[in-house]
Chain A
Amino acid sequence: MYVLKLALRPWRLSTLSQIFSSVAVGFLMLLAGFLIWLQAGLNPIVHRLQREQVITAFIDASVEAKDESRILDSIREQVGAHPTSDAMPGASTDVKLVAPAEFIKDLDAQYPELSKEIQSMGSEMDQIVPRYVSVSGLLPDSAADAIKGIPGIQIVDSSKDRHKTIVGALKAVKWVTQILIIGLAVALMTGLVQLARLNSALHRDALGMMRQWGATQLQLRLPGLFSGMSVGLTGGALAAVGWFFGVTWFAIHVRAFSPLLAGLQMPSAMMSVSFMFAGAAIGLMASVFGFTSETRG
């Protein structure tokens, strides 16, 4: 009990240092928490962008209407979405033939003038209006090439090529986030280790007498360990409060930046409890490294 009383000495002797350190610990932990959430949330988005594709396969004008179903079957087979095989991995893949009439209908809804002009061309319209197969879903990288090889397919266009720049940007954000998390962890530990060193200087006189009275190594280390833990715990508590009240607001704003980021999962407010444990653990660890019970004698 008296050893624990000693642990609170730094709060009495150097109150401002302990308070500022706790606030800094809390802020850095909160920041690290947000970055970890962002980093973890980007993973499924990047994964989805890398796997999910919309392939548009334009059918050659020379292909007759009766051969369209054969081409459709071939595409399904290539991407693993055969209607007779529900258990296949690509069963969720959507393969759809967009006929000229359907194309014109869509065009009519958006550009009625252009639609009328094309329809007035009569039989020549078939040479202009494309027939294509739209394939969407989680597709393997080789899907576009495989479809390209099917007889009757003229051109294949994949959304994957357009997503490349976005995926690259998101990967860079993830990479920077990881570095920032490491930097924050190093800053956190360095700050707390320095504080532990300051605290061990504050404890030196007491530890000298305790050693003289026959204190064990554990008894000599406990005040420093508890001092560090108290600062870490206080910082963790501040971070927990910040997380509990601020995380939803923050997440809503981040998700609003782009429809892509809307896929980020909302963080759990209950995570705030883990900040307390993490703070105490970091404080304890920093004290193990930084606190020295060495005294004269």
Chain B
Amino acid sequence: MIHLSSVTKWYHNQVRVLDQVNLDLKKGEFIYVIGGSGAGKTSLLRILATEEAPSQGSISLFGYNLATVSPSTLRAIRQSVGYVPQNVRLIPDLSVFDNVALSLSLAGHRSIRGEAKTRIEEVLGRLHLVQKRDKLANTLSGGEAQRVAIARALVRQPQLIIGDEPTGAQDKENTWSMMDLLMKNNINGATCVIATHDREIVRRVRKRCAVLTAGRLGFEEAMCTY
């Protein structure tokens, strides 16, 4: 499903934010990516989400090497990924519903009616956003915006879910609602890669952990005790 081989990433200042990262994930796996600030979590997730290309090394998703993949296949891969970026990046002047619906329409649902509309309403309901469905995204609080970003990623029923600290701005109730949704998707076959600082989540929902330290994937163990 995901195969990273010697992935190295540096930016203009030539400092390596990822250094020789190797990672293999099978379909349906759930993995936490943990590490301190500046360890390279966001860079790793951006590369996995195809938002950035590695400076060195290779990455394959769904069996396709991203370095050689055609634009149309890359689009199809992206349509199968649900990505929650750290800075959420909602479209500020569209409503909550429209932000989520736009994501779904770009995943191939030309018309947001019937089943597609029900699916949006359901996801918004699970994330306690029904009251906010017609609010513009730029009027939401940080936590609400983050939940909309998760709804936007999950509504397309992706095969790969990538979350960059998706519960960072949530209270406990919403954190567990979100984790519950992620787990349900995982049980239904979605592969999940979640970066988090929240030790409680890692302790209570025990899954594999990938620990990044200064750009190196130091160790990976079966059930992490972060």
Contact = CB atoms under 8 A, between A and B. Distances in A.
A257 interface: no
Interface string A205-237: 110111111111101000000000000000000
A5 interface: yes
A296 B102 contact: no
B76 interface: yes
A213 B98 contact: no
Contacts, number: 58
A2 B49 contact: no
Given A2-B98, A5-B98, A214 B107 contact: yes
Nearest to B78: A214
Contact of B106 (A208, A213, A217): A213
B83 interface: yes
A1 B19 CA distance: 43
Contacts of A12: 93
Given A214-B79, A296-B51, A297-B51, A219 B91 contact: no
Question: Interface range on chain A: under 10, 10 to 19, 20 to 34, or 35 or more?
Answer: 20 to 34
A255 interface: no
Is the contact region of chain A dominated by helix, strand, or loop, or is it mixed? helix
B106 A210 contact: yes
Given A212-B51, A216-B75, A205 B107 contact: no
Contact of A214 (B51, B89, B94, B106): B106
A212 B76 contact: no
Interface string A1-23: 11101100100110000000000
Interface string A238-277: 0000000000000000000000000000000000000000
Interface string A99-122: 000000000000000000000000
A211 B160 CA distance: 17
Contact of A297 (B52, B77, B81): B52
A220 B119 CA distance: 25
Nearest to A13: B93
Interface string B1-35: 00000000000000000000000000000000000
B89 A213 contact: no
B105 interface: yes
A49 to B, nearest CB: 60
A13 B76 CA distance: 31
Contacts of B93: 9, 12-13
Given A208-B89, A212-B51, A214-B75, A219 B94 contact: no
A204 B79 CA distance: 19
Interface string B71-95: 1000111111101000001010110
Contacts of A210: 102, 106
Contacts of B102: 2-3, 6, 210, 213
A206 B91 contact: yes
B196 interface: no
Interface of A: 1-3, 5-6, 9, 12-13, 205-206, 208-217, 219, 296-297
Given A214-B79, A214-B81, 15 more contacts: A1-B112, A2-B94, A2-B98, A3-B102, A6-B102, A9-B91, A9-B93, A206-B91, A209-B89, A212-B83, A213-B106, A213-B156, A214-B76, A215-B106, A297-B52
